[in-house]
Structure 1
Amino acid sequence: MRRFLALIAALLPAAAEASEVTATFGPDNATRTATIRSTTDLAAFGPVIEAFLTTRPDTRIIYEQWGSNDLYRVTAKDCAEGDAAADLVISSAVHHMVALVNEGCGANHSSAATATLASQMKWRDQLWGITREPAVMVYNRDLLAPHEVPRSRFDLLDLLRPSDSRFAGRIATYDIEDSGLGFLLAFSDSLEATTFGGLMEAFGRTGAIATCCSAEIIDAVASGEYLVAYNVLGSYALQRARGDDRLGVVAPGDYTLILARAAMIPAAAPSNGMAHVFLDYLLSPDGRAELEAQDLIVRLGEESGAPVEVSGTVEALERPIGLHPPLLVAMDADKREIFTQRWRDAFPH
């Protein structure tokens, strides 16, 4: 049983199966407790939990922040064993979540709140997209002249084309072997972009850097170690850019991937009722407002108030990553291995 989950989990890098950060919200003597496991940074999601609890003084939430590959492993293991330590699982690596639901790991939930979601942002009444985050390019404003700022993938290729490019070794992106989100974005690019092969060749030729984490990449752009970061999740980039004038954020003008973090209630969740209530809050107007305040819902365009530089019309720009079965292609063992080998050729360790 669950052979597919076991096979894919075995292909991912070895995991310690432990959360990176754990925090508790609400009183110790609460009558109801729920555990949330998520890839979302505590600094971004903590205020959303606190807002939820303002009208629920009897509730306690334990929040565990996980890396995406580790979260997939532990959730798949729980599912295979018919157990669940979490009441709600939320991940940016949404292909992992589609695979888990496909294997029967999710519980059903249907409500007026879930009915508000577009069809591509929910699946089987077991998986729901709760955020709206663009994949962006981040650059150092102090070190790039206006004409050097890449506004599209074509611009990025042009910057890397000269043999003496000053961008050599100073472009960074997620390492797809360390980051489930990084794999998802790169795989989505390979399906969407005619530039993907050219970018892989250019990254490999110029010594681009593949590394693990949003914070690490953005910090290095701010310090000037990297000049540009490619395919960074916009929520984290915007939070930093709002308080750091060195950072510019660009929605690529050829197309911009839009990610919705996926939430699932495990089939064996110990207290489903609390998970249902919290999920409905995230999808309610109040919950959406809190998510937007933390840049977990980002609307492109001048009226949005978000400091994202956009070229072209938003309607033509956005490419939402839907929560649906085609994402299972990204979980196919053979296709994953071929794609990963292609990546290793461009980014040798």
Structure 2
Amino acid sequence: MIRALLTLTLWLCLSSTVAAAEPEAVRTFGPDQPVRKITLRTTTDVNILAPAIEAFLDTQPGLAIRFEQWGSNDLYDISEADCASGKPGADLVISSGVQHVVKLVNDNCAATWVSPETTALPKDLRWRDQVWGISREPAVMIYNRALVPPEDVPRTRFDLVDLLRPAQSPYTGKVATYDIADSGLGFLFAFLDSQEASTFGALTEAFARSGAVATCCSAEIIDGVAGGRYLIAYNILGSYAAQAARDNPDLGIIAPADYTLVLSRAAYLPGREPNPTAAKLLDFLLSPGGQRALAETKLIDPITRDGGGSDETLALQRLIALGPALLVATDTMKTARFLERWRDIFAQ
């Protein structure tokens, strides 16, 4: 009875937390009167994932897909609440906040699925036959080509620190990155930097000293750099930057030469049993046809494909493995301390 009361209390708390949360965008793909319908919840922009969804629907007559685009933290909250209630609200979830997905899988919120497509993935991109990486997206620096002289373009984190070091740096107040309190992806990149980079302390000190800006999301930051409000941005998702650069030649992109984090968006099938149609969508996204569709919108970056980049480029990549090591980034005490430290940096 105590366990039941605790479960009910948790569900009520989670439900009240996410009650006000709404998806950022909703779109239905497929026929108006479908024979079947599934719900996909994701952090991926609708237009970025649309080609892959439409390619899948070409193989599935009569199927409609309700596409819900969420912020990563809100998606985690609603997924956690669904799990606690035992009533999944989505049939497939794909998130850039991969640490959140690993936590949900660890908490028994995911169904098991095994197929030729899932088993063909590298071991770092699948865990417990319940979470799978569908994309390959580098974390990059971006800059405004028209406003940043070629000699100032930072190729490494060390270069960025040097740019921000002078007291009268022209980049004071002109460097942006994710607000990690609002962005699960931004939190993950910063958290991994703190473990990986010998420059992390110097970089955060430079951010504090130079008045760097922590702000909302990929689109806002990229638009800010393209428009000159910011001159440089750090740790931006390369897929979105590459899309924007197609339309704006002034937007420059750099994969840091000291190391480049590579994200693979994490997918899982909520509930105890997988929805078979949602599992087919997952398999399609992992298939050669699905991967080609994802590559069209840069969710598969050419430099991150097996054999797709030079040996030097590939050696500098740090693929974010999907597995229990990411649970460290969801530990309540550790994340609270890290967020407090980050807020102190930007409060200066």
TM-score (norm 2): 0.93
2:284 matched residue in structure 1: 281
CA contact (8 A) 2:136 2:305 kept: no
Aligned to 2:22: 18
Counterpart CA distance in 1 for 2:112 and 2:136 is 23
1:236-294 per-position Cα deviation (integer Å, ceiling 9, x unaligned): 0000011111100000000000000000100157x701111000000000000000011
State the distance in 2 between where 1:317 and 1:115 align: 26
Correspondence list, 1:158-177, <5 A:
158-177=162-181
Which residue is 2:161 aligned to? 157
Pair 1:295-2:294 in alignment: no
Distance in 1 between the 2:304 and 2:321 partners?
21
Matched to 1:343, the amino acid is W
Distance in structure 2 (CA, Å) of the matches to 1:246 and 1:305? 26
Q: How does 1:37-56 map to 2 (within 5 A)?
A: 37-56=41-60
Find the aligned partners of 1:189 and 1:253 in 2 and give their Cα distance: 14
2:241 pairs, out of 237, 244, 253, with 237
Letter of the 1:202 counterpart: A
- The question of 1:272 aligning with 2:275 is answered yes
- By percentage of residues, which structure has more helix? 2
Is the 8 Å Cα contact of residues 33 and 61 (structure 1) preserved in structure 2?
Answer: yes
User: How far off is 1:32 after superposition?
Assistant: 1.0
The percent of aligned pairs where both chains have the same amino acid is 54
Match of 1:188 in 2: 192
Give the structure 2 partner of residue 119 of structure 1.
123
1:12-44 Cα offsets, whole Å, 9 max, x none, are x98832101000000122111000000000110
Report SS of the residue matched to 1:290: helix
Match in the other structure for 1:313: 312
CA contact (8 A) 1:84 1:268 kept: no
Aligned to 1:83: 87
Displacement of 1:109: 0.2
Q: CA deviation at 1:301?
A: 8.0
Equivalent residue for 2:333?
334
Q: Does the 8 Å CA contact 2:140/2:256 hold for their aligned counterparts?
A: yes
Which residue number in structure 2 is paired with residue 345 of structure 1? 344
CA-to-partner distance for each residue in 1:36-65, whole Å, 9 max, x for gaps? Answer: 000000110112111111122210000000
| 2:31 paired residue among 27, 31, 34 | 27
Offset at residue 144 of structure 1 (A): 1.0
Asked if 2 retains the 8 angstrom alpha-carbon contact of 1:15 and 1:70, the reply is no
Segments of 5+ residues of structure 1 without an aligned counterpart are none
What CA RMSD, in Å, does the superposition of the two structures yield over aligned residues?
2.3
Looking at structure 1, the residues matched to 74 and 318 of structure 2 have their Cα atoms a distance apart, in angstroms, of 27
Paired residue secondary structure (1:113)? helix
**What residue identity is the alignment partner of 1:282?**
L
Instruction: Could you tell me which runs of 5 or more consecutive residues in structure 2 were left unpaired when the two chains were aligned.
Output: none
CA distance in 2 between counterparts of 1:46 and 1:183 reads 26
Contact 2:112 2:130 in 1 (8 A): yes
Q: Give, in whole Å, the separation in 1 of the partners of 2:90 and 2:244.
A: 30
Q: TM-score, normalised by structure 1?
A: 0.92
- Counterpart residue number, 2:322: 323
Deviation at 1:315, TM superposition (A): 2.5
Aligned residues: 339
Inter-partner Cα distance in structure 2 for 1:329 and 1:303: 28
Instruction: Answer yes or no: is the 8 Å Cα contact 1:15–1:69 preserved in 2.
Output: no
User: 1:299 Cα deviation (Å)?
Assistant: 2.3
Choose the corresponding residue for 2:78, options 74, 86, 90: 74
